[in-house]
Amino acid sequence: MTDAPLSRHGLILKRLLFLVFMYAGLAYGLSLLEYTVFNLTGWSPVSIERSVELHSREEVKKEFDLCGGPLFAANAVVSAREGDRLLARCGRFWPFYRYTIEATAHPLLPGSFILYPDEAPAAVTARENFIINMQVINGGFALVALFVIGLSCFAGYRFLFKKDEEAGYKTAFHGFISSFLMLACYSGVMFFIDPTFSFGW
């Protein structure tokens, strides 16, 4: 027994849903991929809004006020000394991300890990363990984000080039659901592991 053909309105609705699923899968996948790569490397492909110097508590507070919350540096990268240049972002990932600035490393900047010669061994060990955890988590979810992006692209290929709208629709829906599960799992893990992750939403 075959399925009854869709009406014209049903077909239009299904194609619109396909576009929504594709958009969500690609947007969330690319956004989390960019965010995890930023955390792993301290680099971001997005444009830098401005460059600032952060030397005092007041200067840090001013930038936090402009952002509407804390700025965040990469949480798996260490600065050799206070004052080194790094990237800091306002908001984490889409749709919460707003902009990225270049700033000087400052201890009040979440994620700005700075090496100090007089650090206690326990503090050094705790930081190293935290960074290893961040590298594993961000690296793993970067791979998951690539899978979600690939799934969405495969849906587009099936829909547009193979002319198999039903298969393309189902694959796009799977990519859409996978993107939400990916973000939910990443956020849940980071809320548990990273004490600063709850800031700035």
Write phi, then psi, for 48 (nearest 5 degrees).
-90, 125
Q: What is the pLDDT along the chain (201 residues), one digit of tens a residue?
A: 445 556 777 778 888 988 999 999 999 999 999 999 999 998 888 888 889 888 889 999 999 999 888 888 888 888 877 778 999 998 888 778 889 999 998 888 888 888 888 888 888 898 889 999 999 999 999 999 999 999 999 999 888 887 887 888 899 999 999 999 999 999 999 988 888 777 755
Instruction: Return d(Cα 182, Cα 147) in angstroms, integer.
Output: 10
The whole-number pLDDT of residue 4 equals 52
The whole-number pLDDT of residue 200 equals 57
pLDDT in tens, 169-182: 899 999 999 999 99
The whole-number pLDDT of residue 196 equals 77
Instruction: Return d(Cα 75, Cα 41) in angstroms, integer.
Output: 9
Instruction: Return d(Cα 168, Cα 124) in angstroms, integer.
Output: 50
The whole-number pLDDT of residue 22 equals 93
The whole-number pLDDT of residue 189 equals 92
pLDDT in tens, 97-109: 889 999 998 888 8
Cβ atoms within 10 Å of 129's Cβ, excluding its own: 10
DSSP, res 56: S
The whole-number pLDDT of residue 1 equals 40
Alpha helices, H only, the chain: 8-41, 57-67, 121-160, 165-193
Structure tokens belonging to residue 109: 């900047």
